[in-house]
Structure 1
Amino acid sequence: MAKKKEATVEERLRALYNLQLVDSRIDEIRNVRGELPLEVRDLEDEVAGMNTRYEKLDDSLEVIKNDISSKKNLIEEAKALIKKYNEQQKNVRNNREFNSISKEIEFQELEIELAEKNINEYKVQIEQKKEVISQTKERLKERQTHLKHKKSELDDILAETEKEEQALIKKSEDFKKSIEERLVAAYTRIRKNVKNGLAVVPIERGASGGSFFTIPPQVQMEIASRKKIITDEHSGRILVDAALADEERTKMEKLFSKL
């Protein structure tokens, strides 16, 4: 079996620059989405939290209504006892029994007074909670509408870009397979550490792309010879000559237009 021919430095540079162009295109697509996925997730969490709060408020309203019912039952029971004690007073045999029953009546009257006070307090609480529930419901409806709009916006962007993004991710993996692992590792490391994820840049007006540091003429000639892989001493980026970059950019633009 014939040994696979080792790629030349120029072929490696072209493959690295093509990989950069593909990854930059993926970055552009993701930048279009921007913070939208996170915004949608945050809105979903907010809506879920508001739903839980709304349910708790509704439950607490039911608890207060049940408390009012209990107090009303207590009042009816106290009234029934007062009626019973009034009847008993008619048949007392001495002052001691009369006074004892009077105390019971007084106690039940106090129970009624306290229960009525509690009911009035509960009614105030109900009005307050109804106001909070109304505000929460209105706010929830507004956030749900906003979430629906943002989800629709995200879905539209995904529908437009997902197919292209997946094709580009596959193309990026294909390019990585054609480049030796150490170079891919270096490219990935540089890409993480530099602005805009640009690990491979062409020389523009005597400086590396996106940099103001001039590259000495001798180094520029070495880069143009495509005999070895040279990195920018200031940014660490891999450098390619402008002619190679233009050729690969034209080629890759045709590929992108087909995706």
Structure 2
Amino acid sequence: MAKIVQQKEASVEEKLRALYDLQLIDSRLDEIRNTRGELPLEVEDLSDDVVQMETRISKIDEEIAELDAEIKLKKEAIKNSEALMKKYTKQQDNVRNNREFDSLSKEVEYQELEIQLSEKRIKEFGAKIDHKNQVKEEATSKLDGMKNHLGHKKSELDAIVKETEKEEEFLLKKSEEFSLALDERLLNAYKRIRSNVKNGLAVVPVHRDASVGSFFTIPPQRQMDIAQRKKIISDEHSGRILVDGELAQEEKEKIEALLKG
């Protein structure tokens, strides 16, 4: 009969070491991402601006095309009116009375008015096209400047990413490994604390009778409990998980050696 091998549960000290290792790795990832500053957001915003400007120019092109189509229709209308005028004028040569002649004259006058109206509309549409072309030229010039600026920002960001890409990939892998060493409840607590503090420090050592980054003194008995590594202890003021300075130093040296390869 096969024996069932039970995985030994990690001790509190092992959990504390894994937590602090994870914190050191994640803090280094934070440093790398901070070197990029606002660049990723700038690149994203500039990209959105470029898309909006391209959409605006595309809309102007559509409006110009619509006006060109209107001009084409008006020119066709003028040709039709001219043909009708020619037809009515010719018919006047064969009229039988003044009433027919006057009726045809009115038709000719009407077509003349239609031609004048069409020519007026053509001029109006032409003026609108000129204005839209001017707006498009200004927008295109602005777009070129935006694309140029975006290109510089992308190059700047790409250079920073390339410089730290290998280290970041390695750190992400190690962060995942250390996360797997923790039970789900403890890992979720770590993530929750980390997301609630500005500097991302969820696990901090005790230094000079206080947790790092805090001015509140930790009572001697509580410091002894932390140093014994028998239970997970949180700072009552900040909620951060506390480790003793000796453990912190040992893990720091271990992670530094790991990163140096």
Q: State TM-score, norm by structure 2.
A: 0.89
Correspondence for 1:43: 46
Correspondence for 1:188: 191
Please give the root-mean-square deviation of Cα atoms over the aligned residues, in Å: 2.2
Correspondence for 1:223: 226
Correspondence for 1:107: 110
Correspondence for 2:17: 14
2-structure distance, mates of 1:179, 1:80? 90
SS in 2 for 1:195: coil
Task: Provide, for residues 111-145 of structure 1, a one-character-per-residue CA deviation record: whole Å limited to 9, x for no partner.
Answer: 01101110110111011111111112112112211
Correspondence for 2:202: 199
Among candidates 169, 174, 177, match of residue 171 of structure 1: 174
Q: Percent identity?
A: 60
Q: CA deviation at 1:7?
A: 3.9
2-structure distance, mates of 1:78, 1:67? 16
2-structure distance, mates of 1:24, 1:82? 86
1-structure distance, mates of 2:24, 2:232? 18
2-structure distance, mates of 1:186, 1:74? 77
Task: Provide, for residues 159-212 of structure 1, a one-character-per-residue CA deviation record: whole Å limited to 9, x for no partner.
Answer: 122221121111122222333443223222222222322111012332211122
Correspondence for 2:129: 126
The residue identity in structure 2 corresponding to 1:64 is L
Correspondence for 2:32: 29
Q: CA deviation at 1:80?
A: 3.0
Of residues 200-209 and 41-50 in structure 1, the stretch that sits farther from structure 2 once superposed is 41-50
The residue identity in structure 2 corresponding to 1:228 is K
Gaps of 5+ in 2: none
Of residues 85-94 and 24-33 in structure 1, the stretch that sits farther from structure 2 once superposed is 85-94
